[in-house]
Amino acid sequence: MTYSSVLSASEVTALEQHRQQFPALANKAYFNFGGQGPMPQAAIAAIQAAHEYTQQQGPFSNQINAWATAETNLARAAIAAELQVAPETITLTESVSVGCNIALWGIDWHPGDHILLSDCEHPGIVAAVQEIGRRFGVEFSTCPLMQTLNQGDPVAVLTAHLRPTTRMVVISHILWNTGQVLPLAEIVAACHAYPGERGLVWVMVDAAQSVGVLPLNLAELGADFYAFTGHKWLCGAAGLGGLYIRPEAMAQLSPVFVGWRSVTKNQHGHPTGWLPDGRRYEVATSDFTLFGALREAIATHQHWGTAGDRYQRICTLSQYLWQRLSETPHITCLRTAPPAAGLVSFQMQQGNHSQLAQTLETQGFLLRTILDPDCIRACVHYFTLESEIDRLIEAIRHL
Ligand SMILES: Cc1ncc(COP(=O)(O)O)c(C=O)c1O
């Protein structure tokens, strides 16, 4: 197979100009977007400007309260537009893990209920499920999706592990370790059609690696809960994420943490009930200076291209990286076919992965190791350069 999507000279110039907006890209070859994205200058400036504004006009004042409400509304609207859903379905959180916990702890679990996870979930989410199990006598088990990376049908494997008592399936849209993109719409359809004993089988999605990568229409995908963050592929600041809740699921999900942002109030300011939308799962004071930063980051990406354009370029680049790694002696990519997203995981036939990642870091190439399966993960974003991939391959060959 030959790589045929090399950019023209003018396209490379435009991309290099675009990259200049991201200070972190200047002094290294960055392949850790799945860990945290680099912030564009406009996002960094938005935080600084927000701090200056709040100090000048407050920090606590009627004007700043109105500003914080407006910032919250604007951030929610920008996220909702990216995910093609109504703003009312979005809860602003701090991280993927907080979003998953809102969904996990808000359900009225009964002893004997069952949660089905994939065997590729993030340890933080697995830990939350384990604690639900301990607290409420809920059973949980895993289904082997890792083995479907190159062959087999993840929908068939997953549905074969549903039980009459299953109430929730916990899966990632893109598996953080192998980079596999799961057929989420089919999985949701199969779970929702499953004739269980305990009502609808809810699907909770860890979207850490899919938001900012895939062109998404969450209303069409049909997942009940879709938890994401702004600080990875969207390149916002750490500390702001979100949770989409399907309207039918929201009616049945109780807020766990509760504060002044969750409730309606009467004329005396006393709480009278939940807000009618995703705000009911928001709690209290947050770092509102991060909200404009995420908006700026999203706008920076949109300025470069549509979600479809960006995804296509990510796939072009991950295919290139995968192909060049596959041609490199002593390297084996986990996938036997080009990746369908920006994560490329590979193994060295000899040597220690952690040592390799550390050596590469001293040379300016930032990658991470994964423990299960034991591998190195390199991520490409739409603004990665082919020349960065070439330099990484050279560095690996010279180790
Ligand atoms: C798949 C997956 N889930 C959850 C997380 C945790 O994300 P956060 O720190 O935003 O909760 C990560 C972070 O690496 C991840 O890759």
Q: How many CB atoms lie within 10 A of CB 158?
A: 24
Q: How far is the CA of 97 from the centre of ligand 1 (A)?
A: 6
Whether residues 247 and 315 fall in one domain: no
Asked whether 172 lines ligand 1 (CB < 6 A), one says yes
Residue by residue, pLDDT tens for the chain (399 residues) are: 445 456 788 888 999 999 999 999 999 999 999 999 999 999 999 999 999 999 999 999 999 999 999 999 999 999 999 999 999 999 999 999 999 999 999 999 999 999 999 999 999 999 999 999 999 999 999 999 999 999 999 999 999 999 999 999 999 999 999 999 999 999 999 999 999 999 999 999 999 999 999 999 999 999 999 999 999 999 999 999 999 999 999 999 999 999 999 999 999 999 999 999 999 999 999 999 999 999 999 999 999 999 999 999 999 999 999 999 999 999 999 999 999 999 999 999 988 999 999 999 999 999 999 999 999 999 999 999 999 999 999 999 998
User: Domain span at residue 342?
Assistant: 9-30+305-397
Asked whether 178 lines ligand 1 (CB < 6 A), one says no
- Token look-up 């537009």 returns 81
The pTM for the full model equals 0.97
**Domain end call among 298, 324, 350:** 298
Q: At what angle are helices 123-136 and 96-105 packed, to 10 degrees? A: 20
Asked whether 94 lines ligand 1 (CB < 6 A), one says no
Torsion angle of the four alpha carbons 21, 26, 28, 30, in this order, in degrees rounded to the nearest 10: 10
**Domain end call among 264, 298, 332:** 298
Give the span between the Cα atoms of 255 and 267, in whole angstroms: 23
- Please count the helices (runs of H) and the strands (runs of E) in the chain: 13, 15
Whether residues 290 and 310 fall in one domain: no
**Domain end call among 263, 298, 333:** 298
Q: How far is the CA of 347 from the centre of ligand 1 (A)?
A: 22
Asked whether 206 lines ligand 1 (CB < 6 A), one says yes
- Per the DSSP assignment, residues forming a β-bridge with 370 are 375
Question: Which are the contacts of 229, defined by CB distance < 8 A and separation ≥ 6?
Answer: 95, 96, 99, 208, 211, 240, 241, 242
68 within a domain of the structure (yes/no): yes
Whether residues 244 and 128 fall in one domain: yes
CATH code of residue 205: 3.40.640.10
Whether residues 239 and 385 fall in one domain: no
Structure tokens at 368: 């991470």
Whether residues 227 and 349 fall in one domain: no
Whether residues 285 and 316 fall in one domain: no
3-class secondary structure, 75: helix
Whether residues 290 and 347 fall in one domain: no
CATH code of residue 310: 3.90.1150.10
1 within a domain of the structure (yes/no): no
2 within a domain of the structure (yes/no): no
Total domains in the chain come to 2
